[in-house]
Amino acid sequence: MKEIEITSVLQVYDSFNELPDDIQQLMQQSKLIRDKAYAPYSEFLVGAALLLKNGEVVLGNNQENACYPSGLCAERTAIYYAGANFPDVPILKMALSAKSLKYQLLIPTPPCGACRQAIAEYESKQKESIEIYFMGETGKIVRSNSLVNLLPLTFDNSYLVSGLK
Ligand code: THU
């Protein structure tokens, strides 16, 4: 038996103003679409803004349903739109923001596990990393240069195709 250690390196920005200009713009779009989320049950609003390699920006927010499991997160709403409409265009960057209508959300809010798995699929499909920034309503912003940092031991199609990494 031997032990392996898995490490992730993330960057933390103290405030919005510290972000690079292009990310400030993308995050601003994420916040605007976040505030249009349909989240009457959780009152937890999430926005996703994706910058594609052709310059296109794809936006999504969470869409809830009276039958709770039928709802969908912001990240998957956006990434599936990108996959459907721009199947051959890589996704370069993703800005995620969240806000509660019940309290002030000050902690950077990462994508849920199911969304990480969905994002992983597109990273492996396009063979190019997706840079991810996420924040709460205000406060610190976390950056990951790839989805892999957020989902070590990612299950991807290599297990289905050849069994080799
Ligand atoms: N939600 C997202 O949109 N993205 C996430 O990564 C976490 C959770 C949504 C789903 C649901 O509408 C609400 O936030 C509360 O979980």
Query: Which tens digits make up the pLDDT trace of 92-110?
Result: 999 999 999 999 999 999 9
* Residue 75 annotated in active site: yes
DSSP SS3 for 49: strand
Q: What is the pLDDT of residue 101?
A: 98
Query: How far is it, in rounded angstroms, from Cα 86 to Cα 78?
Result: 12
In whole angstroms, give the CA distance from residue 18 to residue 24: 9
- Alpha-carbon span 63 to 82, nearest angstrom: 17
- Which strands sit side by side in the sheet containing 91-100, from one edge to the other? 11-13, 141-144, 131-135, 91-100, 44-52, 57-61
Q: How confident is the model at residue 165, as a pLDDT? A: 67
CB 52 within 8 A of CB 89: yes
Compute the mean pLDDT over every residue in the chain, rounded to the nearest whole number. Answer: 97
Do 150 and 108 touch, CB atoms closer than 8 A?
A: no
pLDDT, tens digit, 9 for 90 and up, residues 152-162: 999 999 999 87
The one-letter amino acid at 69? P
Q: Write out the H or E segment, with its range, that includes residue 51.
A: strand 44-52
pTM above 0.85, yes or no: yes
pLDDT at 141: 98
Determine which residue's CA is closest to atom 2 belonging to ligand 1. Answer: 73
The DSSP code for 123 is H
The predicted model gives 71-79 an average pLDDT of 98
Regarding the beta carbon of 94 and ligand 1, being less than 6 Å apart is answered no
**Which mutation among 38, 41, 42 tests ligand 1's pocket best, with the greatest number of atoms within 8 A of CB?**
42
Q: Is it the case that residue 164 has pLDDT exceeding 80?
A: no
Give distance in angstroms: CA of 152 to centre of ligand 1. 21
Check pocket membership of 73 for ligand 1, CB cut-off 6 A.
Answer: yes
Of 43, 56, 64, 75, catalytic: 75
pLDDT at 161: 82
What per-residue confidence (pLDDT) applies to 162? 78
**Over the stretch 102-147, which tens digit does the pLDDT of each residue have?**
999 999 999 999 999 999 999 999 999 999 999 999 999 999 999 9
